[in-house]
A and B are shown apart, each in its own frame.
Chain A
Amino acid sequence: MSTAERLTSLVGALRTHGVSIGTGETVDAAQAVEALGFADRERLREGLAATLLHSPAQRPVFDPVFDLYFPRGVGAPDTGPADREELRERLARALAANDETLMARLAAEAVDGFGGYGNSPSSDGWSSYQTLDRLRPQTLLARVRDDVRGQQGMSGFTDRLLEDEIRRRIEAFRALVAAEARRRVAERRDRDEIARRAVAPTTDRVDFLFAGKDRLAELRRTVQPLARKLATRLAARRRRAARGSIDLRRTLRGSLSTGGVPMKPVLRRRRPARPELVLLCDVSGSVSGFSDFTMLLVQALHDQFSKVRVFAFVNRLDEVTRLLEHGAADAEGLGARIRAEATLTGWHGSSDYGVALGEFASLYGDALSPRTTVFVLGDARTNMSDPNLPAVREIAERARRVYWLNPEAGAQWGTGDSAAYEYAELVEMHECRNVRQLSALVGRLLPI
């Protein structure tokens, strides 16, 4: 494979992950390769990242893809068959010394020794899971800790940091093993295919419904920057809108002193009316990640609205605005706190949109006014109960706008117990599966 081919397939793989790269950047990247040469792989990596990427969020996708197209080496490492105990021994020493080059070499040996499955030697594949399962690097923690203490002595205060540091090093080693396994697999199968499938998507493209715990934590960390971005966009929009149009009556009145020649146009002044916002969030297990995230986002945008009220429901509805105000710093426990402190469930634990929306319309109708915009967050899966369309109609009539954000793929709407299409006839419904879609929607739909 020539360098040019390698580079263009790398670009192709990045594009399938949503990194937009133009031809100009590819040419720059080629020039970078020429200027840097292949001698130092890490420099090449940085050079390509500088020319091809446009934001730090793309980096977690770039690194594994780069590892596939510009691999550390080819084939198996040139050491003999590894012995498990001996490898663990060397790994422990590498972890104690925090020697990254050595850790990378050990990862290669480990995958070669323990990761192969199928009929060796022409094995079918390489598994990082299997490698880590046999090697169990996490069990080395205590031993590495004692090693380091033995060498350095108990160094007082910083000693308590040690365990976490070693844990992070072990985590780094696991990532190295994963990268190595991907590389070995890619040697046998189609590299482009592996690059497309085995590399995790960027955070803003992770589906809310399928995000695991750690991806959700990562998503929550994107709230602050995202909210700030949206806030500046909204503020700019408000500033533009405030310039307003010409007030003809007052312009003419002003022209009397100049004999009827309108010298000074008078602009219509706008009342600075900040909109009010009501959120209705389904927080049942299946969609809780999505509504938690959206609530945090809106809370972070708080000063853009004169009033925000948040209601959570599963099959009963309760106001949770105060919970959001108090625990500003603690995003982690938000969902749990809401479930603990608000009355959200009746006799059973599954969501019931009909009852919840009905409760909202009858109990909290005063939250709605012609200045209110309502966002309903949920998958519209009613568990076969009555969707209570009249309640939605009533909400839609009393509020200025109602938008429904649905974290399910559009193709799933209306299947099974989903009442998505019934609701979509009454209020505007949008698919909102990941951060990218959410920020686009919030930016577009927010009433400023």
Chain B
Amino acid sequence: MFTSVDDVSARLAETGYLASPAVATTVFLADRLGKPLLVEGPAGVGKTELAKAVAEVAGARLVRLQCYEGVDESRALYEWNHAKQLLRISAGRDETWDEARTDIFSEEFLLSRPLLTAIRGDEPKVLLIDETDKADVEVEGLLLEVLSDFQVTVPELGTITASRRPFVVLTSNASRELSEALRRRCLFLHIGFPEEELERRIVQLKVPGLDETLAKSVVRVVGALRAMDLRKVPSVAETIDWARTLLALGADHLDETVVRDSLGVLLKHQDDILKAGAKLDLDAV
């Protein structure tokens, strides 16, 4: 899919995703070694975006499995279309039970869910397993077969193996510890907060019309907030929100009043706002 690490950065950038060297290198390796990519990191640093960008670059279809507590086999893998099976049986032509039985467990009655969809078919696909940590432990077991051999076993039909491997991205916010077995099957990428220069470019890309000096100041203030010991430090998504807010407020430079009035866009806890206000010498918030 990609020829080099630079190729990855360049083509991702075309879709509006500016990748750090770590991200570009890991995506390149995941493609080259044909391994799934496990992406961890705080919320709002662009984990899901990465999968979307890769799909766009590769001209691939994005198949997404959103995990949640209680997601199960029939939501993740496949399900039999019971209603249709019943219709088929009651339409009952003259046939023996054996014939009917083999018929109702054929492809026609199989409802493909994300994991199976990602494996079947020949067009290029990106499989995004989003928020893997939200799913129960049992689901990880399902994933293991898919991720190591790219195959799914349906008891009535046999094993379905991928003729073309999808590019797999798993994301996690680390709210639950993923099993060692799952981790071993993946390349591991931790997306942290970007370097100052990269973040400024991201902000300018996402918020066109923002003055360059202002963008720089925005990123510096966010950097300073991240260095503080806060309950929830602002992520890239919040930096962008803040930049948009400033643009909407018509602020052309940062001063105490502007920062004080819009700090709530960046920080989500009252104690954080107070603490940051004190450290940045803002008057009482």
Contacts and interface: CB of A to CB of B under 8 A. Distances in A.
Contacts of B28: 35-36
Interface residues of B, number: 46
A173 B184 CA distance: 35
Interface SS majority for chain B? helix
B249 to A, nearest CB: 14
Contact of A47 (B26, B174, B183, B196): B26
Nearest to A44: B25
Contacts of A32: 29, 33
Nearest to B174: A225
A15 interface: no
Given A51-B29, A56-B190, A221 B229 contact: yes
Interface in B3-24: 5, 21-22
Nearest to A43: B25
Contacts of A46: 21-22, 25-26
Interface SS majority for chain A? helix
A225 B173 CA distance: 10
Nearest to B197: A98
Nearest to B230: A329
Given A221-B229, A225-B174, A232-B175, A50 B253 contact: no
Interface in A57-109: 59, 98
Contacts of A31: 32-33
Contacts, number: 103
Interface in A321-374: 329, 332
B153 to A, nearest CB: 23
B98 interface: no
A157 B217 contact: yes
Nearest to A229: B177
Given A46-B25, A221-B229, A329-B231, A35 B32 contact: yes
A157 B224 contact: no
A158 B5 CA distance: 35
B25 A50 contact: yes
Contacts of A54: 180, 183-184, 188
Given A158-B254, A332-B229, 13 more contacts: A20-B180, A46-B21, A46-B26, A49-B22, A50-B26, A50-B188, A98-B196, A156-B253, A157-B255, A157-B259, A165-B220, A228-B175, A329-B275
Interface of A: 20, 22, 24-25, 28, 31-32, 35-36, 40, 42-43, 46-47, 49-51, 53-56, 59, 98, 155-158, 160-161, 164-165, 168, 217, 221, 224-225, 228-229, 232, 236, 329, 332
7 nearest A-B pairs in the assembled complex, by CB-CB distance: A157-B254, A46-B25, A56-B190, A54-B183, A46-B22, A329-B271, A50-B26
29 contacts: A20-B180, A31-B33, A32-B29, A35-B28, A35-B29, A35-B33, A42-B21, A43-B5, A46-B26, A49-B22, A50-B26, A50-B29, A50-B189, A51-B187, A51-B188, A55-B183, A59-B190, A155-B213, A157-B221, A157-B253, A157-B256, A158-B217, A158-B221, A158-B254, A160-B281, A161-B223, A161-B224, A165-B224, A329-B271
